[in-house]
Amino acid sequence: MPQTYTHTFDTPVYKGSVTINTGLFIGGQWVDPVDGGDRIDVIDPCTGKVITSVAAGTSKDVDIAVAAAEKAYKTSWGLKVPGSERGKLMAKLADLVEQHADELAALEALNGGKPFYMAKLGDIALVIKALRYYAGWADKIHGKTIETNESKMAYTRHEPYGVVGAITPWNAPLGSIGMKITPLLATGNVAVLKPSEFTPFTALYFANLINEAGFPPGTVNIINGYGNTVGGAIAMHPSIRAIGFTGSIVTGRKILKASAESNLKKVALELGGKSPAIIFDDADLEEVIKAASIALSSIIWASDKSSIDGTRFNNEQFVQGFKKIAEDLAAATGGPFEPGVQHGPQISSLQFERVMGYINSGKEEGAKVLIGGERHGDTGYFIKPTVFTDATADMKIIKEEIFGPVCSIVKFKTEEEVTEWANNTTYGLAAYVMTENVARAIRMASNIEAGTIWVNSGPVGDMGVPFGGYKQSGMGRELGQYALDAYTQVKAVHINIGQRL
């Protein structure tokens, strides 16, 4: 019988007890892994201590989950269920998530160190919005009637793939699940999901809400495990027809290779970024500071658990204002349940060491530390918000994704220079342009090679607007109508209405 874990919260921002099942969720039931006893320790990043452990699945458990998903798809979901009915269940699930938002936010804060209010207003709110948005799409997924000639009619159908794999990261645990699961379910697919082994808590709580909403058993299956076992098994499985992944470029390449070596499954990837924030001298400084505050918060938000990292700011007048923002965030460093906290720890000791390595590299290569540049405190995986000046384009801190609370300020002279520099990267996730010149803003938005451009704005997205990367920042899009393309395939039907052959 799978184990459960109950955590009692007695904090200034949340009080209560929350229980999760730490097993595997397959066919609407909680089960133990086939091979028994392996478990994964879940670490509190604020202390470095074990919170509890969760069951570790294997490829055998993925096989069982796929079988359960296939059964659900063929008998009680997919094309068997009208889109309007799928939408009703998704809307009901949104209501349940909203009712349990505090519990989910508390688990996310405990598990990943993200401040409680940020988890609630960010990740949990995102899931609710996504469920309601795609619930509305569920009965509006149409093909086209195509004119050919008087003797024939033709039309297209947008059909689900069937069993779809989803692999989500630790930086936005439930938010990423919401962005994957909602278009997947709306289009009639079923899921085998692997949450990050670092942050499984909200996925496990979410599973019970799926049951409570009334989804058919097997519609969504959740397998805890490591990337090289469970993730690899999902990527290679011959009965999984499509897969959505958010994470590193290295892992994204492995998934593409697995697709090629298995069954050429459809692959949607949201990968890394190194997104420049370009500030021209005609920008409104007050508005720039406001936007920069939002952009920097997206880096610092629970210690850069976001790959939209706005890491290259420019404009001499801007430096002191930006320093003040970083100082304020540094002063708001602490545990996720402390009032006013805006900056939490790195997710693991490995990530902590990786980010500190980049900071040391910046110092060694000659960049100057404006603020930060060292660990915060003596326990946990906290790093002070760090801003470098005098960085150059050939430095590692400029070229590579750090995925930590580190920014660099670099000067430029011309629009052409900064455009070339912004595009001279393997990434293409996002960019920011700050200018009052409308023509320049449009030119920059057209010329920068990135999937999203924010003009005179911080990284504030919208459920109806697609998000995804150019180049090695990924393929496919999440959010909006565009996300439906990742989870549907087009069938053409030709009907002879003229003389019989």
The C-alpha atoms of residue 373 and residue 371 are separated, in whole angstroms, by: 7
Helix/strand/coil for 237:
coil
The C-alpha atoms of residue 314 and residue 228 are separated, in whole angstroms, by: 40
Contacts of 261 (CB under 8 A, 6+ apart): 236
CB 199 within 8 A of CB 108: yes
Q: Which of 190, 431, 213 is nearest to 310 (CA)?
A: 431
CB 86 within 8 A of CB 185: yes
Residue 270 appears among annotated catalytic residues? yes
Encoding tokens for residue 311? 């890491």
The C-alpha atoms of residue 443 and residue 228 are separated, in whole angstroms, by: 43
Q: What are phi and psi of 385, to 5 degrees?
A: -50, 130
Contacts of 200 (CB under 8 A, 6+ apart): 40, 42, 54, 111, 173, 224
The C-alpha atoms of residue 479 and residue 182 are separated, in whole angstroms, by: 9
Crossing angle of helices 101-112 and 173-186, rounded to 10°: 130
The C-alpha atoms of residue 305 and residue 299 are separated, in whole angstroms, by: 7
Helix/strand/coil for 418:
helix
Going from the C-alpha of 489 to that of each of 91, 126, 131, 141, 161, the distances in angstroms are 24, 26, 22, 11, 7
**DSSP character for 380?**
T
Encoding tokens for residue 110? 């405990």
The C-alpha atoms of residue 105 and residue 107 are separated, in whole angstroms, by: 5
96-116 burial, b if ≥16 CB within 10 A, otherwise e? bbeebbbbbbbbbbbbbbbbb
**DSSP character for 493?**
E
- 10 Å Cβ neighbour count for 247? 24
The alpha carbons of the chain give a radius of gyration, in whole angstroms, of 23
Catalytic residue among 197, 270, 401, 478: 270
278 bridge partner residues: 433
Helix/strand/coil for 261:
helix
Give the Cα-Cα-Cα angle 127, 130, 131 (nearest 5 degrees). 85
Encoding tokens for residue 349? 């000791």
Encoding tokens for residue 229? 């076992």
**Active-site amino acid positions:** 270
